[in-house]
Structure 1
Amino acid sequence: MTLRGPEALASLEEAMRDIRREEDEISKRLARSSERIAKIKESEAELFRQLARLKLDPSVQPELDGSLSSAELRARETLKGHAKNVEKAERAIAELEAERTSLVEQRNSALTRLTERQEALKALDSQQSARLQADPEYLALRRTAEEMGEIAEQSIRKTEMAETDREQKGKPYRDDPLFMYLWDAGYGTSSYRANNLVRFFDGMVARLVDYHKARPNYAMLNELPLRLREHAERQEENAQAAEARLETWRETAVDEAGGKPLRDEITRIQADIEQVDAGIVTIEDRRDAAAQALQDLAEGRDPAFHTATTELAAALEREDLKTLLAEARRTRTSQDDTIIAQIDEARARMREEDGETREQRDRLKILAARRRELEDIQWEFKKQRFDDPRSSFREDKLVGDLLNDFLRGGISASSYWDHWRRSQDWAVGGSQSANTGSRRPSKASPWADGGASTFPWPDSSFGGGSSRKSKPSGGFGGGWGGSSGNSGGGFSRPRTGSSGTRKHTGFKTGGGF
């Protein structure tokens, strides 16, 4: 079962929404957990005050109570401000997410318009293709292009045979160290430089290996492929020029039938999509920064909140409080037992909260890494124009098992992207029986009934006028605007700020999304 480009991008977008939604939920849980921990410490401080009133001399109680109360008061006031900051950060993320959703909807709408214009141009192209089959001048031009294409292909085949001969038949020469010594020295040519003594001994070596007879043969083996390659390139240029003339003829025919406004509108829509994509990147980076700010708040890295909670924790770890608790455990009364049990319960809850918080923090790091990697993949996907309606993928598990493997850390982002690239193809429609044009990649349409077409493939490098259809070359690149990207290696998505690193981590997760 094949997967169409727009459907594939929609599946990636859905996975992205799931990741962001879980990120937001975890950040909120972490923020609430930090607040719960602070409140547990407040209740623990109150319990110690109660214990002090029971166990300590009244003259000692005010000093201890004052220390706890001041730390507790600062923590309580800071907690109020912290909660407001968390709410503000959550609103900022929600607003940015709404902006991004709006841009995605704009993009989808533009892509729908693009599909409609492409279909209209496809129909017009088919009409003109049928009409041109009865045009003698066009048919003559097409025959010329076909003949030049065949000549170019024959030249390439001869060149490849000569290169094979050079490798196979030249091996005995290259394996002979004496012959290669004379060859590298330029013996027997105007480039040979040596004194009389060396010349004398080189002459003896040359007679020994029959160099004067072997050198022309080896020179021919090396020279012929070069000359044939030059000839083949000239023939290829001639064939491409003939195809360009054929393309111009067809383009003019479609223009006269109303195709130019459609092509111009397609270009405008593509520019709009490129602009929307740039806007999405900006929003994603701003959202990434907002998510990091919320995460800092959630993990208690706000300086004021951190200072207040640290002071309260330090107050609860005072030596006199430890002594007080130890004394209460030794001389237990019913009142002591109640307070001690509540302190123990508060500390047990604190440990549980700390354990869950560590797990949630680790999960949040994994999610952030996956989100950035998926943003990179989405960017490359759109830049390669894989979401074009004519783009398809042979493996539907790209949005099933393989997507789950990637999200769980089973495969890397680069490996997952390679699966997409290997699976991608451009759908070819229309009759191929009449398509007898040149066999080299061209700018032809996948819908042409014969020869080249006025409608370009997304990367303007191949199409239906060619029986030897190729995919976009190189690594990443070839976006809506036709700009070139990196030719392999890493992802090319631009990023801003400190969160812009694309160091793809090796996080592994035990569960699914």
Structure 2
Amino acid sequence: MAISGPKALRSLDSAVRDIRREENQIAKRLARSSERLAKVREGEAELFRKLAATRLGINRFGPDEQKQIDGRLFAAEKAARDVLKKHASQIAKSEKQLEQIDKKIAANAKARQDILLSMEKDQEKLKILSDEISRIVEKDPQYTKKRLRSNELRVIAEEAIKKTEQAELDQEQKGQPYRQDALFMYLWAAGYGTKNYRANNLIRWLDGMVAKLSDYQNARPNFAMLNEIPLRLREHAQRQEEAAQSVEDELDLLETQAIEKAGGAPITKALSTAREKLDEIDQRMLEAEDERDELAVQFGELADGKDPAFSNAVSDLAAALKGRDLEDLMSDAKKTATGRDDGLVTKISDTRARAFDQVNEIRELRERLKVLEQRRRELEDIGWEFKKSRFDDPRSQFRQDELVGDILGEFLRGAITAASYWGQWQNSQSWKAGSGDWGGGFGLPRQGRSNNRPRSNSRSRNSGSKNSGQRQRSPWAQPTRRGGGSNKGFSRPRSGSKGSRRSGSFKTGGGF
């Protein structure tokens, strides 16, 4: 069953919220575990102080030894106790900051949904003018000529990028033997055989010996060509894309003028204003998500006990409990059969077992928190690409509702990569019937035009025929990434950098 673009985005947003919620819960559990570990260490120190007091005068354990142990453990125990109080306050403050930023993000998401609902109504109004817009455009002979030229240039540009990708793949595969040859790469890095090579006479003589040994003179031109071809093809593809885009811009202008003549200017103005508002909201959400990301890192570090004061106090207490004198004290107590000693020794052993369990729990929570952080960042990246591609538009739809069900679950479990998951979104996306009609694609890249012959008036009039229910593929659909093993290609800016869905190359899909 198909799922609409706005609904799909809401599902992605909901998944991100669920991850953030679980992140907070895991971080809280981690904080409690860290505090429990510190308190267990405190208890162990108190037990050792009591054991030292009971051993006074036994086996040459005198007042000086008892005083030394008691003073050292008491100081470390008190420092840890004082830091624990402050640490709890810091955790509560950080948690409140996260709650506030989450409310801010949710409010922006709600405002975004309201704008999309308004846009959907305006888009329906514009579709009503489709026939009139068609008649106006058909009277312009330049439009048909430019439309055909646009299609030709688009095909050329797409073929150019395919050749570029193949050359880059050849560079990776065929260049591997060269990169694995240490002698060759040493000479390559030094610029041997080029005007950039600099070395004294001795080094030149030695490098010459290495060059003969590795057949460098014959191998260097081949490796240089492997590296050069993709660069030249990429430049060529960019020029072709720019040429195609120039004609596309001219077509956009002609269609916009036709819409205005048909009386659709107020509608297009409302749609353009709505799109600008969406871009502003997305920028605010980007900044809020980055701010939350920083707060989440700080919260996680606090919960993990990485605050310098807390960490130092706990480390000092642990070091105080590892003294050789305490081990000797335990050993002597075990050898002496007294009721007082046996009870304390048993409690100390139990306390150490609890500490061991807490350490294991902390390690597991750390690993879980790390996985959640990675998944949340990847979903944020996908959400950014989703909106940048206009997949959130009311005219957008996806034929696989499993993308927000089972397939989403597979991604969250780590069964598929972020790149693979995003590729399935791209492959499943299409535009609702009528999005390619005159005016129906306003606001979409290329105004919803597909790579076919110019739209005719008859197409608009037959919109109620059996073909009107068919899906229209995205006219600028991007090919999926080869390999799909990483999310490095996502274009979402991070760490407070500025970004816009209207600028920047579409890196994830391998587009222009």
Q: TM-score, normalised by structure 1?
A: 0.67
How big is the shift at 1:142? 7.4
> Secondary structure of the equivalent of 1:460?
helix
The aligned counterpart of 1:366 is 371
Change (3 A) 1:54 1:260: same
Change (3 A) 1:279 1:154: closer
The answer to whether the 8 A contact 1:144-1:242 is kept is: no
Change (3 A) 1:56 1:153: closer
How big is the shift at 1:9? 0.6
- Larger RCO (CA under 8 A, 6+ residues apart): 2
The aligned counterpart of 1:98 is 103
Note if 1:49 corresponds to 2:54: no
How big is the shift at 1:403? 1.0
Note if 1:421 corresponds to 2:419: no
Change (3 A) 1:142 1:101: same
Distance in 2, Cα, partners of 1:12 & 1:389: 16
Change (3 A) 1:53 1:264: same
Match of 1:472 among 468, 472, 476: 476
Change (3 A) 1:489 1:142: farther
> Secondary structure of the equivalent of 2:391?
coil
Distance in 2, Cα, partners of 1:344 & 1:284: 46
Distance in 2, Cα, partners of 1:295 & 1:245: 51
What does the per-residue CA deviation read over 1:368-416, in whole Å, with 9 as the maximum and x for residues that have no partner? 1111111100000001110111001111111122211111111111111
Counterpart of 1:285, as a letter, is: D
Change (3 A) 1:328 1:11: same
The answer to whether the 8 A contact 2:291-2:496 is kept is: no
The answer to whether the 8 A contact 1:376-1:493 is kept is: yes
How big is the shift at 1:286? 0.7
Q: Which runs of 5+ in 1 are unaligned?
A: 158-235, 430-444, 477-487, 501-513
Change (3 A) 1:52 1:149: closer
Distance in 2, Cα, partners of 1:148 & 1:49: 90
> Secondary structure of the equivalent of 2:262?
helix
The aligned counterpart of 2:182 is none
The aligned counterpart of 1:247 is 255
Match of 1:262 among 267, 280, 297: 267
The aligned counterpart of 2:446 is 460
Aligned identity (percent) is 41
What does the per-residue CA deviation read over 1:204-234, in whole Å, with 9 as the maximum and x for residues that have no partner? xxxxxxxxxxxxxxxxxxxxxxxxxxxxxxx
> Secondary structure of the equivalent of 2:352?
helix
The answer to whether the 8 A contact 1:5-1:393 is kept is: yes
Change (3 A) 1:38 1:497: farther
Note if 1:14 corresponds to 2:19: no
How big is the shift at 1:146? 6.4
Distance in 2, Cα, partners of 1:356 & 1:333: 35
> Secondary structure of the equivalent of 1:392?
strand
Match of 2:139 among 141, 165, 185: 141
Change (3 A) 1:84 1:66: same
What does the per-residue CA deviation read over 1:22-57, in whole Å, with 9 as the maximum and x for residues that have no partner? 110111111111111111111111111111111123
The answer to whether the 8 A contact 2:441-2:448 is kept is: no
Distance in 1, Cα, partners of 2:365 & 2:248: 60
Distance in 1, Cα, partners of 2:445 & 2:147: 21
Change (3 A) 1:309 1:151: closer
Distance in 2, Cα, partners of 1:333 & 1:106: 73
The aligned counterpart of 2:28 is 28
The aligned counterpart of 1:409 is 414
The answer to whether the 8 A contact 1:78-1:304 is kept is: yes
The aligned counterpart of 1:118 is 123
Distance in 1, Cα, partners of 2:387 & 2:252: 28
Distance in 2, Cα, partners of 1:156 & 1:358: 53
What does the per-residue CA deviation read over 1:270-303, in whole Å, with 9 as the maximum and x for residues that have no partner? 1111011011111111111111111111111111
Query: Larger Cα Rg: Structure 1 or Structure 2?
Result: 1
The aligned counterpart of 1:206 is none
Note if 1:315 corresponds to 2:313: no
What does the per-residue CA deviation read over 1:313-343, in whole Å, with 9 as the maximum and x for residues that have no partner? 1111111111111111111322222212211
The aligned counterpart of 2:206 is none
Q: Which runs of 5+ in 2 are unaligned?
A: 156-243, 460-471, 481-486, 500-512
